[in-house]
Structure 1
Amino acid sequence: MTGERSGVAPDCSRVLAEHGLNLQAVFNLSDLPDGIRASIAGVRDVHTYRQMIVFGHGGPALWRSLSASGCMQGENPVDHFSAEIVARYFASENPDHRYCLLYPDNQLLLPLQQLGELAGWHHPSPFRLGINQYWGSWFAYRAVVLADSSFPASKPLSGASPCQGCATTPCMAACPVSVDGSISLNDCMDERSGEGSACAFTCLARLACPVRQEMRYEPAQMVYHYGCSLATIRSYRASSAE
């Protein structure tokens, strides 16, 4: 139990652990960089909150919990499920704490990767995804809230980027559009949008990365996430062409 009022810190939560929100980072708002604080300045009653909490999933646990819940229908089931689990966490384990959901379901443009860097989750990789020694690239940001909690601030995950010790870069060898050890975002989008592309619903570079392959997403999860990103690419390309 921590904080000025009774409550369960995220890293001690059974609700979060049982449903696959197994990554959490607690930040005191006063310690955040100016740019992040500026991004939330317009939030209603922002001055009444003390902390920002970032929730993520690592590996396939969240997807398995979602699949077992029978809540896969509708748009954005992962977002809705994640927000629901956060709501359960506060309702059942922190009923005396108020929170405000910033992501998903909010129009704020939060710098998620910057928050990931502060948490020690995100190191840049050649294939343009965050990576760390604990989860490889098999993690994602699922929810961000402001809370009037006083939990201990999280310490960043330790360890340097696993890419620093990689001499062979199998990710780049597997990527059909890599050039001189890097991937152009436009080239990636072109390749994924092409008819019959092997990259439409997966990432060959990501699959080739040897770091923590045991945490790899299940095939259905890969198809879902990459299907969502492919739809975003096509929508962006269509709007740009108008």
Structure 2
Amino acid sequence: MSLGALAADANRVGLSVRGAFHPNAEDAAPNGTQTLVMIGPDEPQFWNVFTASPEYQDRKAHPLDRWSKRVTHALAAPFGAVALFPYDGPPYAPFLRWAERTGHNWSSPVGLLVHAKAGLFISFRAVLALPDRLDLPTAPQSPCTTCATQPCANACPVGALASNTPYDVPACVAHMRSPEGAACRQGCLVRRSCPVSQTFGRLEAQSAFHMRAFLGE
């Protein structure tokens, strides 16, 4: 068993490994876990895979969560892994802490997580808790350390996401519901401003899907 084999299997179903680490007693991993692996969408193929699925096409509630559970449980089984999901709870698994523990995800200037390849478009569909201690690659450097302009800090038109300030959710929602928020409804301008995000391949249709879900539409 190897992380590369798991990553290859994940890619075949529209997913990707977005970091992994060996948990300690303070990480609240399931008993017997030797490696925790963060799983996120593999852009841009993920959107085409998901929209072709029965979960998307049946027009029932929570299609992405239902798809994620079906696909991730199937991905986990050959590795003897337990699949964990960010929306199962309470109690909820500490996904953000786990993401940072991998050394592949960091806090950005606006507080959102940033990933070396996904930029501010990083997201997680699941975590796999494996019983084997896998060899892990060397962690890269945060892209923010070499980003001279940091456009994310000033990209939000109403300052709901900015440097050194808490996320102002009401201001964000109010703006998106207004006529002036049309561009934001196609994808968060802060996330889109990140130079790494712009090379990631996230499709606008996918971002719009997530924004509608955020607004409860």
1:221 aligns with 2:169: no
* Matching residue of 2:5: 12
The count of aligned residue pairs is 208
Match of 1:60 in 2: 44
Deviations 1:150-190 (A, max 9, x none): 1415345311x22222232322333213397445412x531
CA contact (8 A) 1:123 1:132 kept: yes
Match of 2:134 among 143, 146, 152: 152
1:77 counterpart letter in structure 2: P
State which of 162, 170, 193 in structure 1 corresponds to 2:174. Answer: 193
The answer to whether the aligner puts 1:230 opposite 2:212 as a matched pair is no
* TM-score normalised according to structure 1 size: 0.72
Q: What is the TM-score with the length of structure 2 in the denominator? A: 0.79
For structure 1, the residue ranges without an aligned partner over 5 or more in a row are: 3-8, 41-45, 233-242
2:153 is matched with 172
Percent identity among equivalent residues?
24
Q: Which residue identity lines up with residue 177 of structure 1 in the other structure?
A: V
Gapped regions of structure 2 (runs ≥ 5): none
Deviation at 1:115, TM superposition (A): 1.0
Describe the shift of the 1:120–1:106 C-alpha distance in structure 2 as closer, same or farther (beyond 3 A).
Answer: same
- CA 1:58/1:182 → structure 2, altered by over 3 Å: closer, same or farther? farther
Cα pair distance change 1:26/1:117, threshold 3 Å: closer
> Is it true that 1:32 corresponds to 2:16 in the alignment?
no
Distance 1:11 1:21 in 2: 13
Cα distance in structure 2, aligned partners of 1:227 and 1:128: 22
Describe the SS at the equivalent of 2:216.
helix
Assess if the C-alpha contact under 8 Å between 1:102 and 1:143 holds in 2: yes
Counterparts in 2 of 1:180 and 1:212: CA distance versus 1, 3 Å: closer
Structure with higher Rg: it is: 1
